[in-house]
Amino acid sequence: MAPVVDKLERVILGAAVLAVALFAHRAYGQPAQGPAAPPAEAAEPSPVPPDRAVPGAASEASAAPAERVAESAATSPAPATAALPTALPPHSAKEAEAAPATPLLPPGTHKAIDSWSKVSIGALWYLSGGLGESNGAGFGRARITRGYLTLKWKPVPWFQPRVTLDTHQDEGGDWKLRLKYMYAKFVAPVETALMSEPSVEFGLVHGPWFDYEEHINRYRMQGTMFIERNGVLNSADAGVSVAMLLGKKLSKAYQQSVSKEYPGEFGSIAFGVYNGGGYHAAENNKNKVFESRASIRPLGPILPNLQLSYLLVYGKGNTPPQVCDENGANCYPGEPAWRLHAGMASFEHEYFVATAQIAKGRGNQSGSKIDAGGAALTSEGYSGFAEIKLPWIDSSLVGRYDRWAWAGKGTDRVIAGFAYRFLGEGNVVLLDYDRAMPEGASDSWEAKLTVQVKVP
């Protein structure tokens, strides 16, 4: 019976080895690797139960030398479906820690998580309260003048889409939610002596002027900028914008101590074609508006603080070709001319900022600045802004003067304030006084406290 037992031992051992190979292949994707197989004497066959023992077989099996077991294992043909492992899978705690971890998440999950890690969400809002006088009547009020929620995604350097929601209170007191920006932005991540980071925005996009100006005059929380406050143009519109920096980027030292915005050594340019109604009006005609800005650092990196900027707007006001009253009578030609030429000199320093603007044109974005015959009114104005920074107390003194006239009838405005910054540059408390002095009408004024909150 000894030959029968020998064959039985070989079958049992071969089956065990095959089971281990299949387990290792499924658990780890490949045969287990490790030290050499243990000595043959360690792989002794299990004893045959007494009730199944064959007379004389036990003594013969026990007398078989260990070499015969090893020889039988070595000479047994390997299954063609899987390679035999050289070691069993790790069983000790130490070996188990070193073994490859089996993935716990579905395929593609890590890629999705990595994509979301490139999404940034931010919020910005202005809270104010104050008292004043308008049209001869006093008032006291608390307001939420703006609330923005922005989502940006930068999966790769060349693609940077954005959406911004804008909350405001309408004239009836109701809170409205609307889009401010929603665009796809394509950027060429290059930096050369001629230009750097040229980009294209398509959708509801930045206009070329206000994003630039508001990074010099950082007090949009007080009110709109000079040109926008006088009803000529607003900051976003549906269309396409192209922008780029001129030359290489300025040094990191300048960007950290003065400004990191629009850091081209020789300036920046932006231009685009837009519907013309702005981001809070429907397009009322087929006219398209061209807007462009050129900002030059005349001394380049020698004196990067100084910039000279020019803005051009060319198009028509956002009204239908013919405008009539509610009864369809008293009609006059629509689509009045809209032209604007504006220039600004700015100087930014670690301890102060100063700007001077001048503008001249005809008509406005909405097409509302017209005479009785529907012709666009002429306009002109100038403005000055200054900020004195007091970094040792995280504060600034700010002042601004505007003068704007429609068809020769002008309004002067004076703004003065004190700002305190906390928890970084984005959170600001501003106490300011704003007085408007229109010709032929009573003055209006407001003294208010405004808090700007920026997250993160």
Q: Are residues 57 and 2 in contact, defined by beta-carbon separation less than 8 angstroms? A: yes
Range among 79-93, 110-124, 153-167 with highest mean pLDDT value: 153-167
Contacts of 430 (CB under 8 A, 6+ apart): 219, 221, 222, 398, 417, 418, 419, 420, 449, 450, 451, 452
The pLDDT of residue 362: 97
At residue 48 the predicted structure's pLDDT band, cuts being 50, 70 and 90, is very low
Whether residue 113 is contained in a domain is answered as no
Position 30 pLDDT exceeds 50: no
Contacts of 23 (CB under 8 A, 6+ apart): 89
Q: How far is CA 250 from CA 263, 295, 309, 349, in A?
A: 5, 15, 18, 14
Domain boundary among 102, 131, 166: 102
Determine, yes or no, domain membership for 115.
no
C-beta separation of 413 from 439 below 8 A: no
C-alpha to C-alpha distance for 385 and 216, rounded to whole angstroms: 10
| 250/295 same-domain check | yes
Q: Residue 76 above 90 pLDDT?
A: no
- CB 199, CB 185: distance < 8 Å: yes
Residue 436 in domain: yes
Q: Are both 228 and 278 inside the same structural domain?
A: yes
User: Do 312 and 401 fall within a single domain?
Assistant: yes
Supply the DSSP symbol for 453.
Answer: E
Residue 188 is classified by DSSP as -
Question: Among 362, 361, 363, 351, which Cα is nearest to 396's?
Answer: 351
Cβ–Cβ under 8 Å, residues 384 and 410: no
Predicted confidence at residue 69, as pLDDT, reads: 38
pLDDT for res 116: 78
Residue at 97 is within a domain: yes
19 and 158: one domain?
Answer: no
Q: pLDDT confidence of 19, banded at 50, 70, 90?
A: low
Q: Which of 405, 323, 339, 409 is nearest to 376 (CA)?
A: 339
Classify residue 227: in a domain, yes or no. Answer: yes
Q: Kindly state the tokens that stand for 322.
A: 């013919």
Kindly state whether residues 27 and 174 are assigned to the same domain. Answer: no
Q: Which of 68, 102, 136 is the last residue of a domain?
A: 102
- Is residue 109, in this structure, part of any structural domain at all? no
The answer to whether residue 96 scores a pLDDT higher than 90 is no
pTM: 0.76
Q: Do 254 and 319 belong together in one domain?
A: yes
- Provide CB contacts within 8 A for 181, sequence distance 6+: 150, 162, 163, 164, 203, 204, 205, 206, 236, 279
pLDDT category, 110, cuts 50, 70, 90?
low
State the Cα–Cα distance between residues 67 and 299, nearest whole angstrom: 91
How far is 267 from 279, CA to CA, in rounded Å? 27
Please determine, for residue 65, whether its predicted confidence score (pLDDT) is greater than 60. Answer: no
In which domain, by residue range, is 184 found? 122-455
Q: Which of 14-28, 239-253, 261-275 has the lowest mean pLDDT?
A: 14-28
Whether 64 and 194 share a structural domain: no
Read off the pLDDT band of 144 (50, 70, 90): very high
Q: Are residues 11 and 129 in the same domain?
A: no
Note the pLDDT of residue 391: 95
Instruction: Indicate whether 70 and 146 sit together in one domain.
Output: no
Out of 81-90, 138-147, 207-216, pick the least confident: 81-90
Q: Is residue 117 part of a domain?
A: no
pLDDT for 315 equals 97
Last residue of a domain, one of 44, 72, 102: 102
Q: What is the CATH number of the domain that holds 184?
A: 2.40.160.10
- Domain-embedded: residue 193: yes
- State the pLDDT at residue 77: 47
Question: Average pLDDT in the 357-383 region?
Answer: 96
86 in the same domain as 16: yes
Q: Does one domain contain both 238 and 203?
A: yes
The stretch 232-260 carries a mean pLDDT of 97
Burial class (CB in 10 A: 0-12, 13-18, 19+), 185: buried
Do 346 and 244 have their domain in common? yes
Q: Which pLDDT belongs to residue 350?
A: 96
Say whether pLDDT at 169 is over 90: no
Number of domains within the chain: 2
